Amino acid sequence: MNFKNKELSAFQEWIDHKYYLEDNQFDQEKLFFEQKYLNFQIDDCYGFTEKVDGKLRDDIFKILYLTYLNWKNELINLEISFYLGVWIYNPRLPKSEVVCAVGREKIEYYQNLCFDIDSST
């Protein structure tokens, strides 16, 4: 088994054992008092470029979707303005993340500035 297959197996094991359940919790204190944003990702695998497919791909999307829905419900119940998005990275699917922000500056940053796209192209 090569390195990339071991890494894929480790991601699948992390998911199968539901180790992510601690990492993807909505942390209201962190959001409001520490940094004004939250993010959850499977892994910060910047150098990982292996194609992810099959059960692992499905599981990653399911976790991202369920995290998004949970955070959305929490934010709606707080009755505040917020940014909430799912960022999909391809081919580094395990780096995909759910991101939320509160406060005018952080919301504007994530809505407008974070993805500084050249509109002249």
Q: Specify the residue for token string 């601690």.
A: 22
Q: What is the pLDDT of residues 51-79, one digit of tens each?
A: 788 998 999 999 999 999 999 999 999 99
Higher pLDDT, 10 or 47: 10
> Of residues 111 and 91, which shows the higher confidence score?
111
Cα dihedral 92→8→44→71 (10° resolution): 90
- High-pLDDT (> 90) share of the chain, %: 45
Q: Reduced to 3 states, what is the DSSP secondary structure of residue 48?
A: coil
Contact in structure between 52 and 91 (CB atoms under 8 Å): yes
Which helix (H) or strand (E) segment holds residue 97: the answer is strand 97-101
23-46 pLDDT per residue, tens: 899 999 999 998 999 999 887 666
Distance from C-alpha of 19 to C-alpha of 77, rounded to nearest angstrom: 26
- Whole-prediction pTM: 0.83
